[in-house]
Structure 1
């Protein structure tokens, strides 16, 4: 398999990325002003009921981090909830059974360990506010605030995170909120204006730590950046803004061919990558994924497989940064999830030790 060609790189000391990062036109750059292409995975669970990433009851965090790096990925998106950040009680022993050093710790202290473990393998981290409460994100209202966690609480949570991780080299960026929808707008009234909220939160973060990338997702489930054409985000600290898009096979069923997909994406968000424009900035695909429980999941013979091959072709041709959803071999404990069950989109299998579908991993390695 392709991933074994990387094995000998891990026999010696792992080279760490040159951080912090910044942006230059449409590119993410390291501290030596060299392009750093984010090619990563999502590892979910901090945002769910147990406040920890799935898999820690099965495998040690260092083994999971090592696997991510061995597979050739260089970054991890960690979703979290505001509730998790503020939780003062210790996590349950059973959900960190393979990590005894995590027993008795608060969720955010577990996050510290996870981030350090990933960094020890040369991986950088993007923290993603997936939800306010510890629920599957789609059960909330689709905005950056809720009745229990108004905008003030959302920004205060980000300030806590910015202060805590300002000296962590692994943490290179903050994804302000997952998949704005249900009436969120780019501009307009304050109650719906996601752009305005992202500016307020980003400025609060940059006041504490001006070195982080601020990642702002598009509206309509992070599928639409058309508002950037007329109203790009500009922060007081330059070279910080990265926009983010999500896509899955069911997002655009009208895209029946690669040419239709390319035309549609160029219109919805691909134009942001056109160099030298007033709106130009990096676009990071924060989520995309296909099923991994059947070989047809990555073949043209299935709807999901055809979409996946076309989408990864677009990423490759445009040289776009990305993070696959998800790494998880098993599900976290959540209202729409079955704890410990196979995650049928996951890169890892239920053992958290090997790929669920080698052909899926190989395709991702081709575009790293």
Structure 2
């Protein structure tokens, strides 16, 4: 949105994506948003959430505007068809609170490149606003953080680093497992990693608790 479509008007963007019915709805219910840029509309919506007492995490999931996810959809890992690492880093400098890239996946996954780009991204976000949390995804659809034991991110962003981990019925046990044991034990079981004693998880738990 920030690097490719920042000058597009909301109505124009929906037309380009052939979402004509949605555009009609916006024109009827929120006509003031139809002719502003997508970035201005984004800012307006985030401000409105704030007025309602809600906090927002911007979650970066894909670069190509489409539904997620597939191992070969071109959005899975740094350097894939639609996932230009330099464009991604540029985009991170424009936002202040973000899950940097959700569900890294696909045949091109590489732990070293993940470490390289996630470290750069976390530093860029923190430089833009040192007060916000930076969410970092694992590999394999965000189900694997096992590599953190030997290769944690060494970034100087204080206590603002949060590792994000997903649990699916098809990946590792049942979603109901989260209700049957303390979340730290569940996360440790999935990651085989002791780093969770030192960091907060995506649910927002204080790492000292």
Q: Note whether the superposition's TM-score is higher than 0.5.
A: yes
Deviation at 1:186, TM superposition (A): 2.9
Deviation at 1:320, TM superposition (A): 5.2
Hey, what does 1:88 align to over in structure 2? 7
Question: Does 2:37 match 1:112?
Answer: no
Hey, what does 1:159 align to over in structure 2? 93
Alignment of 1:70-219 (within 5 A): 86-92=5-11, 93-96=23-26, 97-138=28-69, 139-162=73-96, 173-183=97-107, 184-187=109-112, 193-219=113-139
TM-score of the two chains, using structure 2 as the length reference: 0.75
Quick one: higher RCO (CA 8 Å, sep 6+), 1 or 2? 1
**Cα distance change, pair 152–255 in 1 and its aligned pair in 2 (3 A):** same
Gaps of 5+ in 1: 1-80, 163-172, 188-192, 286-318, 322-368
Contact 1:88 1:106 in 2 (8 A): yes
Contact 2:75 2:82 in 1 (8 A): no
Name the SS for the 2:95 alignment partner.
helix
**In 1: Cα distance, 2:55 partner to 2:147 partner:** 29
Gaps of 5+ in 2: 12-22
Deviation at 1:234, TM superposition (A): 2.6
Of Structure 1 and Structure 2, the greater helix share is in: 2
Deviation at 1:104, TM superposition (A): 0.4
**Cα distance change, pair 219–89 in 1 and its aligned pair in 2 (3 A):** same
**Cα distance change, pair 206–149 in 1 and its aligned pair in 2 (3 A):** same
**Cα distance change, pair 229–273 in 1 and its aligned pair in 2 (3 A):** closer
**In 1: Cα distance, 2:192 partner to 2:43 partner:** 35
Deviations 1:310-355 (A, max 9, x none): xxxxxxxxx959xxxxxxxxxxxxxxxxxxxxxxxxxxxxxxxxxx
Contact 2:75 2:83 in 1 (8 A): no
Contact 1:226 1:267 in 2 (8 A): no
Contact 1:82 1:132 in 2 (8 A): no
- Runs of 4+ in structure 1 off by over 4 angstroms are 254-259, 261-265, 270-274
Q: CA RMSD in A?
A: 3.0
**In 2: Cα distance, 1:223 partner to 1:146 partner:** 20
**In 1: Cα distance, 2:175 partner to 2:82 partner:** 42
